[in-house]
């Protein structure tokens, strides 16, 4: 099966062509995975501006689509289905991808497979790992989401916990903005944190003892404001700034790791998967891997290759394959800013 995938949920215009082979265990071969980033466009504003994102998607998507086909050395005649992100996300950005997919489906007579963006992040792990044991606990960490999702098998999702306010990626962006470091905040803070003393500044671990699987990072953001006011050297001295970034990054990693371990024990999972844009964070990856190895006997830890961690269309193709029974015509698909993972 050959799938053309389209992703425009936020500020990345992406198209990919993925071949799926194998009957019992599907194998995904990425023939092309083209991403047009809007980071430079939104950086002066310290975050994504929805109207600008939509206009940029409209301008870029025809070129990204054509390049995806060229790089895959394929044509629409060889495409079996079109997968497109329908929800959740910025609705005026999603509409560009969905409308483009509808046009292609109308012109080519192909079916469209609707894809949930969070499901796609979860399934990005299948691009790097063939055999995955269930029950599977997914920790999805991105700019807009921090969620613990339990899967007992393909296509079943139970939301165990989610953020009550800021997502982890959003917290990284806001803290970076407070420090005048630029956008996006995650990669900048991570780079500055290397070699820093993570114990230098004491920051809280929100909801670590809440008794549930939910997250909250707004209190940590408030603590950052007070800490920076109390220690003005953080903004002036490179070493202090490096230590502070390491301290903040460690606080986020501690909360995510501990919440994940507790949920994994409660539901006796066989695999823990980390996905989403923040899954590229080296400290979080290493801490989860080391803690799982030390505290959870025989539980596998997986995470996608760094190139598939952030928003991309290859993961949309994988999710589309697993959701192929819901393929429909161009008339029966639309975009939604919010939708449950089901």
Other Cβ atoms less than 10 A from the Cβ of 273: the count is 26
Residue 140: pLDDT over 70: yes
Regarding whether 261 and 327 lie in a shared domain, the answer is no
Alpha-carbon distance of 147 to 137, in angstroms, equals: 10
Regarding whether 42 and 174 lie in a shared domain, the answer is no
Residue 34 maps to a domain: yes
Residue in the block written with tokens 């079916």 = 111
Distances (CA, A) of 117 to 64, 73, 231, 237, 273: 19, 27, 40, 40, 16
Regarding whether 189 and 137 lie in a shared domain, the answer is yes
Residue 342: pLDDT over 70: no
For the chain, the domain total comes to 2
Alpha-carbon distance of 63 to 42, in angstroms, equals: 20
Residue 342 maps to a domain: no
Q: What is the arithmetic mean of pLDDT over 147-166?
A: 94
- pLDDT attached to residue 105: 97
Regarding whether 199 and 166 lie in a shared domain, the answer is yes
Q: What is the arithmetic mean of pLDDT over 70-79?
A: 98
Is there a contact between 300 and 272 (Cβ–Cβ < 8 Å)? yes
What pLDDT, in 10s, does the model give residues 268-283?
Answer: 999 999 999 888 889 9
Residue 338 maps to a domain: no
Residue in the block written with tokens 């997502």 = 167
Regarding whether 116 and 150 lie in a shared domain, the answer is no
Residue 210 maps to a domain: yes
Regarding whether 233 and 324 lie in a shared domain, the answer is no
Regarding whether 204 and 283 lie in a shared domain, the answer is yes
Picking from 201, 179, 199, the residue whose alpha carbon sits closest to that of residue 189 is 179
Q: What is the arithmetic mean of pLDDT over 88-116?
A: 97
Whichever domain contains 322, its CATH number is 3.30.420.40
Residue 181: pLDDT over 80: yes
Regarding whether 165 and 207 lie in a shared domain, the answer is yes
- pLDDT attached to residue 280: 85
Indicate the pTM of the whole model. 0.94
Task: Judge if the upstream peptide bond of residue 88 is cis by omega within 30 degrees of 0.
Answer: yes
Regarding whether 142 and 115 lie in a shared domain, the answer is no
Domain interval for residue 233:
132-303
- pLDDT attached to residue 67: 98
Percentage of the residues of the chain whose pLDDT score is greater than 90: 86
């Amino acid at each position: 099966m050959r799938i053309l995938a389209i992703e425009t949920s936020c500020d990345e215009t992406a198209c990919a062509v993925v071949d799926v082979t194998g009957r019992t265990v599907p194998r995904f071969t990425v023939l092309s995975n083209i991403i047009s980033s809007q980071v430079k466009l939104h950086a002066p504003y310290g975050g994504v501006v929805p109207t600008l994102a939509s206009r940029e998607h409209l301008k870029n998507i025809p070129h990204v689509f054509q390049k995806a086909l060229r790089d895959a050395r394929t044509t629409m005649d060889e495409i079996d289905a079109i997968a497109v992100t329908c929800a959740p996300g910025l609705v005026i950005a999603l509409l560009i991808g969905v409308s483009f997919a509808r046009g292609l489906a109308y012109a080519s007579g192909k079916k469209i497979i609707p894809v949930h963006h969070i499901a796609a992040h979860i399934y990005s792990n299948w691009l790097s790992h063939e055999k995955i044991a269930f029950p599977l606990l997914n920790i999805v960490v991105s700019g807009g989401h921090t969620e613990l999702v339990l899967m007992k098998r393909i296509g079943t999702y139970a939301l165990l916990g989610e953020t009550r306010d800021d997502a982890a990626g959003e917290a990284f962006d806001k803290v970076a903005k407070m420090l005048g470091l630029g956008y996006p905040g995650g990669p900048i803070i991570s780079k500055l944190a290397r070699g820093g003393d993570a114990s230098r500044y004491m920051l809280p671990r929100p909801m670590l003892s809440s008794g549930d699987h939910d997250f909250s990072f707004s209190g940590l953001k408030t603590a950052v404001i007070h800490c920076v006011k109390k220690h003005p050297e953080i903004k002036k001295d490179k070493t202090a700034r490096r230590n502070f970034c390491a301290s903040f990054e460690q606080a986020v990693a501690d909360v995510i790791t501990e919440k994940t371990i507790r949920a994994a024990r409660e539901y006796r999972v066989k695999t823990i998967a980390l996905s989403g844009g923040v899954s590229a964070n080296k400290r979080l990856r290493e801490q989860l891997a080391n803690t799982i190895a030390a505290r959870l006997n025989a539980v596998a830890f997986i995470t996608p290759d760094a190139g598939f961690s952030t928003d991309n269309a290859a993961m949309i193709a994988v999710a589309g394959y697993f959701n192929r029974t819901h393929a429909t015509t161009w008339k029966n698909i639309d975009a939604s800013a919010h939708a449950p993972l089901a």
